Structures are given as C-alpha cells and as structure tokens.
Amino acid sequence: MKIGLYFGSFNPIHIGHLVIANHLAEYSDLDQVWFVVTPHNPFKKKSSLLDNYQRLEMVYRATKDYTKLKPSDIEFNLSQPNYTVNTLAYLQEKYPYYEFALIMGEDNLKSFHKWKNHDVILENHHIYVYPRISKHNPDNHQDKTQFDGHKKIHLVNAPIMQLSSTFIRKSIKAGKNVQPMLPQHVWEYLDEMNFYK
C-alpha cells in the first residue's frame, strides 16, 4: 500500500489542505493520505500554536468522512523539533510493508535543500509536488530548483488554493466569518472552543 504523508502544523486544518489531500488520494497512485500533525516545525516559532491534541482533534474531525484520509499523531512522541527524515525512518520501521511518499507544495520544494538529510529522504522516498503560489513569489514565475527533473519527484496537477492557517487565525481574531474556509466539523469545534479569539 502506498501512503502519502502530508506534514504540517494544521493550526488549524483548512479546506486548502483537504482539497490537496483528496486530490492526491483520488487522482494519483497513492492509496491513502495521512495528515501528520507536527508538534514543532523546525522552521517555525511555537507561539500561537494550539495544543497538539487540539490540532489532532481538528484533523480527525476534518477527515472522519473520508476513507482515504487519516490523521496521524506519530510525531507526538518523537524528539523535537521534528525532522521529517527521523519520522520517515520511524514509520518505515513500524510499517515495513507500506511505501511512504512525501507530499509538498512547490514553495516547500524550493527550501527542501535546507531540510535535515534531504538527500537521504530522496534516496528512500518519492515526493509528490503540487503547485503553490509562494508568499515570496506572488507572480509565480517558475524558479528552477536543484530537484527539477529528479526521478523521485512527481509533479501533480492539483488545484491552487490560496488560503493559509495564519490568514484564518488573524481573521478569527478580527471577528470575521471564516466558516467557508474550514471543514464544517472543524468550524463547529473551533467556534465552540473559542480558539484563536
């Protein structure tokens, strides 16, 4: 079975994440997509981050109606900050019969050379890259990366979703209605818990 791993803070998970994951589960050779909730992204500050289990709960609620999409708390008990190479090694040992691939936006591919042991990741795993307009490159002219044409990197024609968790958090704080940007069950939970206000 081929599993695509979609790593993120998911603070909160939004419909952009869900559309991408569903596209990969339905239109690529991946059998399932796992949302791996990262306790601490090595490149991000921890402030404004909700508790791990609250972010996991939102991912659980967002995915419970989709058989091919699953939440994963695998990084909660691994050492922090969470380096993807370590998580992949742990998962491969725990599930030796599964084939794990990475899912990332093309903006992330541009900084992939800075990830810990990225060469080891590429040696052992395929990466599915979907189009994404970078905050730093809004015209989206295609910068070359050292990974262009790499045989383990697969470009996927998923829709471009211009949403971010940061935008949603700021909007909630400013009293805006964010309901259409979130899966319904996530919005209900978030509203009930008064998150990000």
Ligand X SMILES: O=C(O)c1ccc[n+]([C@@H]2O[C@H](COP(=O)([O-])O)[C@@H](O)[C@H]2O)c1
CB–CB of 106/132 below 8 Å? yes
Peptide bond into 81 cis (omega under 30): yes
Would you tell me the crossing angle of helices 52-63 and 15-27 to the nearest 10 degrees? 50
Return the residue of 5, 25, 36, 104 that touches ligand ATP, per CB under 6 A.
104
Residue 139 sits at φ, ψ, to 5 deg, of: -75, -10
> Considering the complex, what minimum distance in angstroms separates the CB of residue 2 from ligand X?
19
User: Is residue 122 near ligand ATP by the rule CB under 6 A?
Assistant: no
User: Is residue 72 near ligand ATP by the rule CB under 6 A?
Assistant: no
C-alpha to C-alpha distance for 12 and 6, rounded to whole angstroms = 14
Return the residue of 3, 4, 5, 16 that touches ligand ATP, per CB under 6 A.
16
Per-residue contact track with ligand X, 98 to 127, x per CB under 6 A?
Answer: ----------x------xx-----------
Return the residue of 10, 34, 100, 112 that touches ligand ATP, per CB under 6 A.
10
Strands 153-155 and 69-72: unpaired
Binding region for ligand X (CB under 6 A): 7-9, 38, 41-43, 82-85, 108, 115-116
